[in-house]
Amino acid sequence: MTRPWLAQYPEGVPHDVAPERYRSLTALLEESFKQHARQPVCVCMESWMNYGELDELSAALGAWLQARGLVPGARVAVMLPNVPQFLIAMAAIVRAGYTVVNVNPLYTARELEHQLKDSGAQAIVILENFAHTLQEVIDQTSVEHVVVSGLGDQLGFWRGRWITFAVRHLARMVPAYKLPIDGPLGARTIVDFRQALARGADMHLKPGAQTLDSVAFLQYTGGTTGLSKGAVLTHRNIIAAILQAEAWFQPALRRVGDLRAVNGIAALPLYHIFALTLSLLTIRWGAHMTLVPNPRDVPRLVDTLKRRPFHLLPAVNTLFNALLQNPQFRQLDFSSLALSQAGGMAASEGTARQWKAVTGCTMVEGWGMSETCAIGTNNPVTAEHFSGTIGLPLPGIDIAIKDEEGRNLAPGEAGEICIKGPNVMTGYYNQAEETAQAFTSDGFMRTGDVGVMDAQGFTRIVDRKKDMILVSGFNVFPSELENVISLCPGVLECAAIGIADDKQGEAVKVFVVRSDPALREEDVTRYCEQNLTGYKRPKLIEFRDELPKSNVGKILRRALRTPAAH
């Protein structure tokens, strides 16, 4: 197929990547640990960890896991926020020859039970704050080994103990649970995180017989269309994604010089594929990341940003928005900020304009999925202005716009965005039928996103298939409405859905969060009349104090479709 996007690549960006340069993700990690042993890998609440420590601690935990008798490829769940324990556990599981199953720490018991049962996880590393949820479901799962961590376990001897004490006894953020440390619970092993490290330090980590085709992660989808599914991501997939992101970001980071000096802000949760991939890229560079356990505490996040220069800030549109609304954020020194990477949800032009005005750095929007290791398309990092598109396919990736029968459509025609590349999953775990449906006969993965590619290779998403609103036979895409209405003065955030209508089949309803309390329905209506054709204009406008969002800040349209929302 022709690749018109290659002509648009910034100078120096390669057309392809070679994941074969590493025999496994383990090899990539261990290379970086050795080369950068004295360099800092992360800072969390002003407690630092270097690569040498990450090497030593992950080897200890990996050896402890191996001593449990887990077979190569066994699934080990991680249910942790953005704390150093996450990096230790992730690296330990990979190095020991097992598969990481990332779990959202805020899952309900029902959601946790599904993921543990579906993945067949035999072990879990979990923050004690969420152990009560595990207690509810553990008997229905195959989990045999539990490692329980306190929040401050890796935050220094005195400071860490104080943080754990404060979380347990002052903030009362650790609900009671019955998973006795080192006590019997059937045939299960329950152990404290620090104790597992201490015991593993006296053991030897045996190298795993991993290849590029071994499974590194089971990354579960958000489950917006039903029960979540585990995307099977191999060592090849993950390495390819790291190298693709590295190749694409290089032009923006050249001015930093030595990439080991890069400070990447890890405010998005590391269990999410967007942040996970960027954290692994940081490790490859020998750079360091600032771990932010709770990005919803915007004043504390701003205080963290204030402490030292930061170069890479990945975020979803809602987090960029939240930062812009904080007066202290606007006073920060942005001279070091080289890349503001938007992903995870559609970025709005209104937010992008404000971001550029405040920081001087262009918000660069990209697109990817759990199934593609968060990598797919991205706007050139050399861009001076927000484009409103999701950009160009990254090195080694092909994008095709296809119709329902899988035929390629011409530039300018709307169809399903389909993707092929070394970063694309091999399938859904234990879901042969779902996997077969996900791929076309010529090997492209169907994404479920509807888009249009122009003659230069830039793609614009017009929406998810299921979110499309049909008004009197006309297709209305919520993302278009939201992008337009976000530019209305006084609008902070908005979301559009379709509601039943006797005359039109469906009508448009828009939910608006105001930045200006004086904004009225008439103002929004007038703006829509000026900027949207008749059938796209909202029939109903509802003001809200906030919009429902996922734990990574993505606005949940499905939650707005409930009868109460109508």
pLDDT digits (tens, 9 = 90+) for 256-308: 999 999 999 999 999 999 999 999 999 999 999 999 999 989 999 999 999 99
Higher-confidence residue of 479 and 215: namely 215
Instruction: Kindly state whether residue 539 falls inside one of the protein's structural domains.
Output: yes
- Give CA–CA dist 344/327, Å, rounded: 25
Domain boundary among 179, 200, 232: 232
What is the spatial distance between Cα 102 and Cα 229, in angstroms, rounded to a whole number?
12
Chain position carrying tokens 């059938």: 535
pLDDT-based confidence at 223, cuts 50/70/90?
A: very low
Contact 376, 277 (CB under 8 A): no
Count Cβ atoms within 10 A of the Cβ of residue 496 and give its class: 0-12 exposed, 13-18 middle, 19 or more buried. Answer: buried
All residues at 6 or more sequence positions from 146 whose CB lies less than 8 Å from its CB, including other chains: 123, 124, 126, 131, 134, 138, 179, 188, 189, 190, 191
Is 56 among the domain residues? yes
The pLDDT of residue 237 is 98
Secondary structure class of 242 (helix, strand, coil):
helix
- Total-model pTM: 0.88
Map residue 136 onto helix, strand or coil.
helix
Evaluate whether residue 411 is within a structural domain. no
Residue 219: enclosing H or E segment and its boundaries? strand 215-220
CATH code for position 121: 3.40.50.980
Least Cα distance to 524 among 565, 482, 488 occurs for: 488
Start-to-end CA span in the chain (Å)? 46
- Residue entry with tokens 């201490």: 198
Q: Report the distance separating Cα 542 and Cα 221, nearest Å.
A: 30
Confidence (pLDDT) at 337? 98
Q: Which helix (H) or strand (E) holds 378?
A: strand 377-378
Q: What is the DSSP string of 168-201?
A: IIIS--S------TT--BTTBEEEEHHHHHHHHH
Structure tokens at 350: 């209104």
- Reduce the DSSP state of residue 111 to 3 states and report it: helix
pLDDT for 225: 41
Assess if residue 432 is contained within a domain. no
Domain that holds residue 189: 22-232
Boundary-marking domain end, from 232, 247, 263? 232
What distance in Å separates the CA atoms of residue 546 and residue 544, rounded to the nearest whole number? 5
Q: 285-300 b/e with 16+ CB inside 10 Å = b?
A: bbbbbbbbbebeebee
Q: Given a cut of 60, is residue 73 above it in pLDDT?
A: yes
436 Cβ contact list (under 8 Å, min separation 6):
none
**CA quadruple 393, 397, 403, 404: dihedral positive or negative?**
negative
Would 421 be classed as within a structural domain? no
pLDDT digits (tens, 9 = 90+) for 396-431: 999 999 998 899 999 999 999 999 999 999 999 999
**Between these two residues, 472 and 177, which has the higher pLDDT value?**
177
290 found inside a domain: no
Query: pLDDT for 150-208, tens place per residue?
Result: 999 999 999 999 999 999 999 999 999 988 665 555 568 999 999 999 999 999 999 98
pLDDT score of 532: 86
Residue 565's pLDDT band (boundaries 50, 70, 90)? very low
Mean pLDDT of the chain: 93
pLDDT category at 563 given cuts 50, 70, 90 is low
Number of structural domains in the chain: 2
Task: Classify 28 in phi/psi space as left (phi over 0), alpha (psi -120 to 50) or beta.
Answer: alpha
Which tokens is 318 given?
């809602």
What is the reported pLDDT for 550?
86
What's the CATH number where 528 sits? 3.30.300.30
Check: CB of residue 398 under 8 Å from CB of residue 445: no
pLDDT in tens, 350-402: 999 999 999 999 999 999 999 999 999 999 999 999 999 999 999 999 999 99
Q: What single-letter amino acid sits at 457?
A: G
The span from the CA of 402 to the CA of 417, in Å, is: 7
- Residue 553, sorted as left (phi over 0), alpha (psi -120 to 50) or beta, turns out to be left
Question: Does residue 340 lie within any of the structural domains?
Answer: no
Per-residue pLDDT, 186: 56
pLDDT reported for residue 224? 38
At 513-552, the pLDDT tens digits run: 999 999 999 999 999 999 888 889 999 999 999 999 988 8
Q: Which pLDDT score, from 0 to 100, does residue 501 have? A: 85
- In this prediction, residue 222 has a pLDDT band, given cuts at 50, 70 and 90, of low
Residue 564 has pLDDT above 70, yes or no: no
Tell me the pLDDT band of 475, cut-offs 50, 70 and 90.
Answer: confident
Give the residue from 202, 232, 262 where a domain finishes. Answer: 232
pLDDT of residue 106: 86
- pLDDT at residue 235 is higher than 50: yes
Distance of alpha carbon 46 from alpha carbon 494, whole angstroms = 36
279 domain-assigned: no
Average pLDDT on 127-149 reads 95
